[in-house]
Structure 1
Amino acid sequence: MFLSVSSSARWSITLEVLLLFTSAIFAQSCSESSPCKPLQGGQRFKTPKQVISSGGRLQTSLLVDVTEFQVDWLNSLRRLYNNSFPSPTLRIKPGDVVSLNLINNLQEPDFSGAAINELRHPNTTNVHTHGLHISSKAPQDDVFLEIGPTQSYSYKYNIDDKQARGTYWYHPHFHGSSYFQVLGGMAGMIVVEDDPAEMSTDLDAVSCPNNCENDLQMVLQLFQYSTDEDGSFSVAQKDLHDYEGFRLNDVTVDKSSTTLEDWLEDPTNEIKYVLVNGLLQPTLVMQPGQVKRFRLLNAGGLYALAVHLVNTNDGSSCTVKEIALDGMYLDQPRDLGTGRSVLFAASRVDWLVKCPIPGTYELRSTFLPDDHLSMGEHPSFNGTLLTLVVNGSEVLNSAMPSTLPSRPSYASDLRDVTEKDIDSRFVVEVTPTDTIGREDFSESNIRYKARVNTIQEWHLVNTEYVTSHPIHMHVNHMQVISYNPYIGPYGVDDGGSNWKLFGQNGTGCTWQHQNYDKSVTITSPSDALNYLGHDEKQSSGGSGTIGYAQIGEHRDVILVPPLGNITVRFRTHKYTGPVVVHCHLQSDADQGMMMTTEIVDEGASVEASITSAGAYPSSCFRNDPVYQPGNDSPPSSSVTKSLHRSLAVPERLNNNLP
């Protein structure tokens, strides 16, 4: 029997009154001059504002301005889109034309005193449509646009008619301020709606556009002032020389000399939360046996999340299935591999959720000790995100979907392509001090070029020996092909801007990087090789650790573990123009861990700046541009000629020899 409207309404009213009553009592004793911890949450779950295309078009505006945002008793001033935390959800369809007018209402002064790869320009912005298969040229997804204070720009996106239907998002991407603006709350979801004709009845029942009440959008955003780790909003304000009037240092606490900003930054006060649609630990109500679709987006810009549902009464658990990652449907619904889904910064996962037993559940992020085996020292959040109350009459005819729509042709399976099908290869090499490919970011320095409508094979490698990085590529999703032995060098920095590469025997490499200063003494640590062996751990099922992707997945964000080497493939389908590759720990990207590559027309030159100071990626004692996959012998001249093509892949020989 279904829950009647009247009893459902009574439950809703009772819950709302209880939440308001509790908040009111707590708020009476807490204020900015007399702060309390922890912050109180528990408001009723709400969906972000919706902006929906119609008749093949969506026309809207995003106003960037400073807005007061409140969590419990704490009011802060944040740069937001349309005065909204999170920003409105854009719901579109393949083939739509989207006209978006970005109006920057921020004012001067706009701190510009820092160098290009430092945090700066808090009031300059633009928009990136993260994950969409779209042109990177203006007036579409051009992340190099500079929309300064009081300026505006009219974007016009031609959504591909084969665009994968799924969960995406948008956020600022101006180099130097994207981290600060996303940390402040500038982020919104994009839903490319499903076609009911291409999906099962059961999946249609929990999906927009027909059944949006069962299709739940959850934008997860960081709300942090604690300085125990990176991520403190007030520290970022100081780093970017934000206007003093936007800070919280003009209120003293409990008649002392301590400012509210000081109190918030004190790690013992634990002001570090992840909000769900701008709410702290909101309460969502479902009926027993009801199926819902959860679209989960990690828009925090920093912490990884390991999300799962827990029955707080230690009773029966809910059934949870993953159906999509980063906007791409899986082949079929699947269980959560470690009982949790991992969301690195910018990642998305779509769940199907069904809870048969009434009770109280919590959506939590929980990392376990073994997770560091695949993630190294990666910023991670542990805590409650949302309370799920399962209450009312049982829903008897709500079935868990068993089949999923197919992916578009540009995201086909490339695991079994032949050698002759691969046009060219490249290495994206993560290196110390927020560099990538051994250099800081430069927009005009094109590090690699690939021809359009070809299959590319890239290696994502990480020379850092304790730190992992979520690497994002614009325009095209990457398919995970393999985790490989890491035989390249490792990098060590001096705590500042100097760093050095070592071979795995601990000897300094012959081939270093553009800014290498041999006069600076940097020694190799004794534990530099502790994280070797990701290929073995991943192939054995991950050994209970959460950070590995599954072979065959299509992703636009892939975590590269310390001393990791991952092969990915993708099609350079249709779109020519610049393709940005960067770490999505956005502070790292703003400080230089970003590179420009390019997709060029058929027959165009592929000459690019692959080397740094003459060194190819992953070089150490040897400096080979190419190799034959699986062949540990040096590349012959015939191989070099046959592969032409400015290739650079991890060297396979003598990396451990001085």
Structure 2
Amino acid sequence: MRAGTPFQEPATADATAADGESVTITLGATRSLFDVSGRPVHGATYTGSFVAPTIRVNPGSTITVRLVNELPVATNLHFHGLHVSPEGQSDDPFLCVAPGRSTTYRLAVPAEHPQGTFWYHSHAMGTTCPDPAAPSAPGTPGDVENQVFAGLSGALLVGDDRTLLPPELRQITAHTLVLKDVQLDAAGRIAQNTATTSIDSGNPTVRLVNGRLRPVLEMRPDETQLWRLVNAGADIFYRLHLDGHRFTVVGEDGTPVARVTTADTLLLPPGKRYDVLVTADPHPTRTTLRTTAYSNGPQGDAYPDTELATVAVTGAPVHRLPDVTGALPTAPADLAAAPVARRRTVDLTESADGNTFYINGKRFTDGSSVFATPARLGTVEEWTIRNHSGEDHPIHLHTTSFQVVSVQGAPQPYTHRQDTVPVPHAVDGTPGTTVIRVAFADYPGRWMFHCHIAAHEDHGMMSYLDVVP
């Protein structure tokens, strides 16, 4: 692959209709040969490239996405983080599109939907569609890891969260950075789980930004930009650091923050997004965006320090803009004082060989929930998530974001809501613990939750909660 080419945005599939209008996008899932930083690569694609096009939508509009399955296996779509119905032809991961078939998703985005960064990807819960007469398929793993790793994922932007910033920052340059990795064989084929080969997330891998190897992103001296960071890969974590700089976090998982913070590093497990402000040095220079060395537990993976991109500060200086502080205008309310209607415990475990995964002792192979009691609309619940394994598990909840109340018993000050949180691994037999609060404001149906390491959800660490009026 060629390193050091100019930074380039992903292609765009524009669905920015006026309020109440509908725009149709067609995505054809197919196996394909595409270019990855100058090298031909065999994988899967929606529109001919390794990084799927960025879908842009406005709050108050309806997105119509027609998915045509040209793969030899079943597939579907999940619109990760969108607050839309989990039922019908909306964001229902139980929908299954068989090879040679198509389906149409209609996503009614609420007018009050948060503006921020989301993403979409295959959520195939098997390689074949279940028989309507016998919908369960015990023992059949999902196919999310294969399909996302092969290329079936991309960013999704709702509105433009620059409009939430102070007036002087609303016209700054915004970039979308989609982080994905590839493991290739000698013929340029992306690794897959088959009868003879498998994806090992701990193997050496090539980390890419928008499908490019260590691209060069340009900034002017003293310039502030908005970076939309998306981990759209299948399995691995990123621990981002920009040498000599700090990130100013204005959004997490598509939700504007209730308190602006700064950070030297940002941890992005699979599925995680951050919207951050970055201000360049006051003089011409070059610096490096990297993912630093990181381990997600003694039974998990250990990743080396890896350069992702070069930031070249060049040209004439610009007027330095003021720092952003406080809360953004549409940040959701703090749930700390909300009445708790129900408390639940979610236990995460795995088999001794690390190949089978469970929630509350159950593997998601028969389509049933680990909870006998549904949640009710208009209530708030508190979940204690306990990780008994030796690796961190990033837990993702569909349909809404949640608030982290405590981690390892330490109360967390309210700064934001999120839809993905890494639950720490067990130490000396003591489980890692994260407590969250979830507001069930609307949308009855099956709200899914699972580990977003795709191999783990494929092999059992997934369930759902029935939400009823």
Verify same fold: TM over 0.5: yes
Question: What letter is aligned with 1:238?
Answer: T
Describe how 1:467-616 pairs up with structure 2 within 5 A: 467-483=391-407, 534-535=408-409, 552-562=415-425, 563-601=431-469
Q: Which has the higher strand share?
A: 2
Structure-2 change in CA distance of 1:271 and 1:462 (3 Å): closer
Q: Is the 8 A contact 1:364 1:386 kept in 2?
A: yes
Do residues 47 (structure 1) and 9 (structure 2) align? yes
- Say if 2:259 and 2:416, in contact at 8 Å, map to a contact too: no
Q: Evaluate the alpha carbon distance shift between residue 376 and residue 558 of structure 1 in structure 2; reply closer, same or farther with a 3 A threshold.
A: farther
Partner SS, residue 238 of structure 1: coil
Partner Cα distance (1:385, 1:378) in 2: 22
AA partner of residue 301 (structure 2):
P
2:406, 2:160 → 1: CA distance?
30
Matches within 5 A, 1:184-583: 184-194=150-160, 198-206=164-172, 214-225=173-184, 235-239=191-195, 272-310=205-243, 317-336=244-263, 339-355=264-280, 356-367=282-293, 375=297, 377-381=299-303, 382-407=305-330, 411-417=332-338, 421-433=339-351, 434-442=357-365, 444-448=367-371, 449-464=374-389, 466-483=390-407, 534-535=408-409, 552-562=415-425, 563-583=431-451
Checking the alignment, whether the CA contact within 8 Å between 1:225 and 1:271 is kept in structure 2 is no
Could you tell me how far apart the structure 2 residues matched to 1:365 and 1:75 are? 25
Q: After TM superposition, give the deviation of residue 367 of structure 1 in Å.
A: 2.8
Q: 88, 94, 100: which one pairs with 2:53?
A: 88
Instruction: Report the CA distance shift for 1:198/1:215 in structure 2 as closer, same or farther (over 3 A).
Output: closer
Give the 3 Å change call, closer, same or farther, for CA 233–432 of structure 1 in structure 2. Answer: farther
Cα distance in 2 between the residues matched to 1:234 and 1:190: 24
Contact 2:78–2:122 (CA<8 Å) still a contact in 1? yes
Greater helix fraction, Structure 1 or Structure 2: 1
Identical residues among aligned pairs (%): 27
Query: Deviation of residue 388 (structure 1)?
Result: 0.7
Q: What count of residue pairs does the alignment treat as equivalent?
A: 434
Q: Deviations over 1:247-270 (max 9, x none)?
A: xxxxxxxxxxxxxxxxx99x9xx8
Deviations 1:502-525 (A, max 9, x none): xxxxxxxxxxxxxxxxxxxxxxxx
Write the letter of the residue equivalent to 2:258: D
Within the alignment, does 1:151 sit opposite 2:101 as a pair? Answer: yes
Cα distance change on mapping 1:467 and 1:90 into 2, 3 Å: same
Q: Secondary structure at the match of 1:181?
A: helix
Gaps of 5+ in 1: 1-38, 108-122, 207-213, 227-231, 243-263, 311-316, 484-533, 540-548, 602-658
CA RMSD of aligned residues (A): 2.6
3-state SS in 1 of match to 2:329: coil
Tell me which structure has the larger Cα radius of gyration.
1
**8 A Cα contact 1:99 1:155, kept in partner:** yes
Does the Cα contact within 8 Å between 1:327 and 1:348 map onto a contact in 2? yes
Change (3 A) 1:71 1:196: closer
TM-score by length of 1: 0.62
Give ranges in structure 2 of 5+ residues lacking alignment.
Answer: 126-141, 352-356, 426-430
- 2:128 corresponds to which residue? none
Q: What amino acid does structure 2 have at the position aligned with 1:401?
A: V
- Which residue is equivalent to 1:30? none
Secondary structure of the corresponding residue to residue 214 of structure 2 = coil
- 1:128 equivalent to 2:71? Answer no
**Corresponding position: 1:142 with 2:92:** yes
Query: CA offset at residue 405 of structure 1?
Result: 2.5
Partner secondary structure for residue 555 of structure 1: coil
In structure 2, what residue type is equivalent to 1:557? T
Q: Who is 1:656 aligned against? A: none
| 3-state SS in 2 of match to 1:554 | coil
Native 8 Å contact 2:169 2:321 kept in 1: no
